[in-house]
Amino acid sequence: MLSRLVPLLFLAQMFIASYAADPPDVFTVRKQVDEARITFSVQDARGGAVTGLTRNDVRVVNDGRPVSEITSFYGYENVPIRLTVMLDASDSMTRRFADETQMAETLLETVVRPGLDDATVISFASRAQSLATINRTGFHKLKADGPTALYDSLFDAMLQSNAPSPRPVSRVLVLFSDGEDNWSAHSLDDVIAAAQQADTAIYPITAHSHRYVYVGDSVLQKLAENTGGHAFFLTNFDKPQLIYSALQAELRAHYVMGFRPSGESAQAGFHTLKISTRNRKLKVRSRSGYYVEPVINP
């Protein structure tokens, strides 16, 4: 483990690089764009990352019809990650907030590949704000306080990813939260739609006794399932290395694929998507569809 100073300097450099870079990328399909790019992940029966796949190993069904041609295909080693880490700093997280922030800090040090990936950190309670504006050297001055605007904060994070990119990227949002919301104007459906438009996979992480079912659990599960991510339900934060390893495996399993929507699938609106592999024993995680935005002529 690096000394305490090294990871903090690394984080500061990473924050500066993130804010100096171009705005996060979006693969929203628009009518004037020929290619739709979709991020997905592939795992084996044990949850291990499946690497080395080619476009010939993948099948795509768009609006119930097979896609005849995959126009581009990239694996994890060739695709930069645009990582957003969101920290729930509301009242309901007070008891576990120190563990949450410590795990988030080490996660950035573990997962982000220097020189290739970019990371942004956001804390939220009644509203979202960049961590870099609070304390560029770490998380230690953050306090859990205030109501929870989970949906509004997630929605705003997706809007920040609203500029097209000339190159493929894999967008991932790691959410530390209990899934509860008592302050938002937006709904869960609004957030899922925004994440699907931004092609962002959401990976929620929460911790509580498994003897009880919490209201926020179903929210976190829906966020993951509808965006191609995976929800982690821990009993506590005492074995963080397991989560770091699991997330790294998830990210190594990521691919970015492009195809050209045609006919009705190129018209404005939401279009369903199902991705599978020729090996039926492999598990594919992807968002359930994509949006084509209408062209508004001046």
Let me know: does 164 contact 203? Beta carbons within 8 Å: no
User: What integer best gives the mean pLDDT of the chain?
Assistant: 83
Task: Please indicate, yes or no, whether residues 115 and 159 belong to a single structural domain of this protein.
Answer: yes
Confidence of residue 295 (pLDDT cuts 50, 70, 90): low
37: in domain: yes
More confident residue, 26 or 32: 32
Task: Please indicate, yes or no, whether residues 85 and 55 belong to a single structural domain of this protein.
Answer: no
Task: Please indicate, yes or no, whether residues 173 and 274 belong to a single structural domain of this protein.
Answer: no
Confidence of residue 212 (pLDDT cuts 50, 70, 90): confident
Least confident of 105-109, 190-194, 235-239, 292-296: 292-296
Q: 128-130 and 163-164: which strand pairing?
A: unpaired
Task: Please indicate, yes or no, whether residues 149 and 247 belong to a single structural domain of this protein.
Answer: yes
What pLDDT does 4 receive?
39
Range of the domain at 284: 29-77+257-293
Q: Percent of the chain, pLDDT > 70?
A: 83
Q: Please write the tens of the pLDDT for every residue from 55-92.
A: 999 999 999 999 999 999 999 998 999 999 999 999 98
Task: Please indicate, yes or no, whether residues 229 and 84 belong to a single structural domain of this protein.
Answer: yes
Task: Please indicate, yes or no, whether residues 57 and 119 belong to a single structural domain of this protein.
Answer: no
220: in domain: yes
Q: Please write the tens of the pLDDT for every residue from 200-210.
A: 999 999 999 88
Which pTM value belongs to this model? 0.83
What pLDDT does 222 receive?
97
Confidence of residue 162 (pLDDT cuts 50, 70, 90): low
Q: Please write the tens of the pLDDT for every residue from 220-279.
A: 999 999 999 999 999 988 888 888 988 998 899 999 999 999 888 888 888 999 999 999
Q: Map tokens 């920290």 to a residue.
A: 87
298: in domain: no
Domain CATH number, residue 57: 2.60.40
Let me know: does 59 contact 275? Beta carbons within 8 Å: yes
Q: How many CB atoms are located within 10 Å of the residue 135 CB?
A: 14
Rounded CA gap, 271 and 274, in Å? 10
Confidence of residue 13 (pLDDT cuts 50, 70, 90): very low
Task: Please indicate, yes or no, whether residues 93 and 182 belong to a single structural domain of this protein.
Answer: yes
266: in domain: yes
Domain CATH number, residue 171: 3.40.50.410
Task: Please indicate, yes or no, whether residues 83 and 218 belong to a single structural domain of this protein.
Answer: yes
Task: Please indicate, yes or no, whether residues 241 and 272 belong to a single structural domain of this protein.
Answer: no
Task: Please indicate, yes or no, whether residues 173 and 262 belong to a single structural domain of this protein.
Answer: no
Rounded CA gap, 45 and 53, in Å? 16
Q: Is the pLDDT of residue 39 over 70?
A: yes
Q: 81-88 and 170-176: which strand pairing?
A: parallel
What pLDDT does 22 receive?
34
Rounded CA gap, 38 and 191, in Å? 18
Q: Is the pLDDT of residue 134 over 50?
A: no
Task: Please indicate, yes or no, whether residues 99 and 230 belong to a single structural domain of this protein.
Answer: yes
226: in domain: yes
Rounded CA gap, 100 and 88, in Å? 9
* Number of domains the chain contains: 2
Identify the sign of the CA torsion 162, 167, 168, 171: negative
Rounded CA gap, 49 and 81, in Å? 16
What pLDDT does 129 receive?
80
Task: Please indicate, yes or no, whether residues 204 and 286 belong to a single structural domain of this protein.
Answer: no
